[in-house]
A and B are shown apart, each in its own frame.
Chain A
Amino acid sequence: MLIVVTYDVNTQTPAGRKRLRQVAKACENHGQRVQFSVFECLVDPAQWTGLRLQLLDIIDEESDSLRFYFLGKNWKRRLEHVGAKQGYDPTGPLII
């Protein structure tokens, strides 16, 4: 299933900037960065539970926010991209 993770992390303090790097790293390990703080993660339910817990552990709920959008299994129908920075399709042929 495809899950879109977006986040806003308060970077006014050094601790906040550290959280931002940690959130980005955790998301990179599970999906692709499609915009600055938007990740598309193709995960199974077990992997999703792991990632979600990891993210909740990192952020500070007082100042940061996370949003998850669940696109499910038929995500291809629900996605349209316009403009630059066309990402790769994680289920399509991967040839570089």
Chain B
Amino acid sequence: MRHVLNTLYVTTQGTYIHKDGETVCVSQDQKVLLQIPIHTLEGIVTFGRVGTSPALLGFCAERGLAVSFLSRSGRYLACVRPPSSGNVLLRREQFRVADDDYRRAELARLFVVSKLANARQMLLRSARTTGDEAISKAAHEIGCLGKQLDVSVSIDTARGIEGNAAQIYFNVLNNRIQQDGFQFCSRSRRPPLDAINSLLSFVYTLLAHDCAAAVASAGLDPQVGFLHADRPGRPGLALDLMEEFRATFADRLVLRLINRGMIQSKEFHTSPSGAIFMDDKTRKTVLVAYAERKRETITHPFLDETAEIGMLWHIQAMLLARHLRGDLDSYPIMLWR
């Protein structure tokens, strides 16, 4: 079994990452800040003005590490990925399923079912702790929408139901925030218009990096999705997989950071375009919380084994690969309890 390895986040501006022997070296002004053997890492994420040497990128590709480049505020810019490896027959099968309307719709339906079930579960949990009527009503509505997905539906219906559920879900997100100074109206991206949206977008970007790496290391093509339509440069399958973790992993992490007072509203700044950005200290707080949450363990409902949360997307990608190969009749979605 794979181990959860670490991801290196480089946020200090003006640093340079290079290869030294079999280690990754982060240096600034000729001074080495960190030297770490590559076998303990599974990915590198850099923010803003961080240089990387070509030798390091080649070395990471050889060892199967993805290197993501984000802007200083955490917007996704580009990614260097190892050359496709693994089984070409598996990828061909993935493309065939993506072209087959019936099988594609079936997988898209499963991803939406998982998203809705997990969102409902999180809402019920919040409703228990806050005792808010609106939240439990939203949970009930999402449950009703989920029932429409009992039988096979077309891909457009599945997307429509997902959209409705997302609307209901985000409508009560504000009720789940128990800290003054934070206000959530609606989901806004590019640019995020409030602190919560800025946090959500940031955590989603990190999660997308992890999911794309997991999908690629299971031998699948991250770009060819089932629920998400193909678009140049969009990691469709990684986004499909991410749907299973948005509410339970990403949103919950953001709410936890706010409700426990680990993040203050005064740590956010408005840019001239109206976008809200967090300061460097907050970004570090989020990264630490993200990395620590990945280390927590949970019992996987299908495998019935204890797994670290950071392992879950690898497990799901592997199960999806097994389903595409024909070893599993259906794709077992991840249902949080």
Contact surface of A with B, Cβ cutoff 8 Å: 25, 28-33, 41-44, 47, 88, 90-96
Contact = CB atoms under 8 A, between A and B. Distances in A.
B10 A88 contact: no
16 contacts: A28-B23, A28-B35, A29-B22, A32-B37, A41-B37, A47-B39, A90-B40, A92-B292, A93-B291, A94-B8, A94-B41, A95-B10, A95-B284, A95-B288, A96-B8, A96-B12
Nearest 3 pairs between A and B by C-beta? A93-B291, A29-B22, A95-B9
Given A93-B291, A95-B284, A96-B12, A30 B7 contact: no
Given A25-B21, A32-B35, A32-B36, A96 B291 contact: no
Contact of B15 (A41, A42, A44, A96): A96
Given A42-B40, A47-B39, A93 B34 contact: no
B176 to A, nearest CB: 25
Interface of B: 3, 6-12, 15, 20-23, 26, 33-37, 39-41, 284, 287-288, 290-292, 295
Nearest to B39: A47
Contacts of B23: 28-29
A90 B6 contact: yes
B322 to A, nearest CB: 25
Nearest to A25: B21
Contact of B292 (A41, A42, A93): A93
A93 B8 CA distance: 8
Contacts of A90: 6, 36, 40
A77 to B, nearest CB: 16
B66 to A, nearest CB: 15
A11 to B, nearest CB: 21
A96 B11 CA distance: 6
B33 A91 contact: no
B249 to A, nearest CB: 16
Given A91-B295, A93-B287, A95-B11, 15 more contacts: A30-B22, A30-B37, A33-B35, A41-B37, A91-B6, A92-B291, A93-B6, A93-B292, A94-B8, A94-B291, A95-B284, A95-B291, A96-B8, A96-B11, A96-B33
B39 to A, nearest CB: 6
B36 A88 contact: yes
Contacts of B26: 96
A91 B22 CA distance: 18
B21 to A, nearest CB: 5
B51 to A, nearest CB: 13
Contacts of A94: 6-9, 34, 36, 41, 291
Interface-centre pick from B39, B284, B295 (highest chain A CB count, 10 A) = B39
Contacts of B291: 92-95
A88 to B, nearest CB: 6
A30 B37 CA distance: 5
Nearest to B10: A96
Contacts of B35: 28, 32-33
A93 to B, nearest CB: 4
Nearest to A31: B37
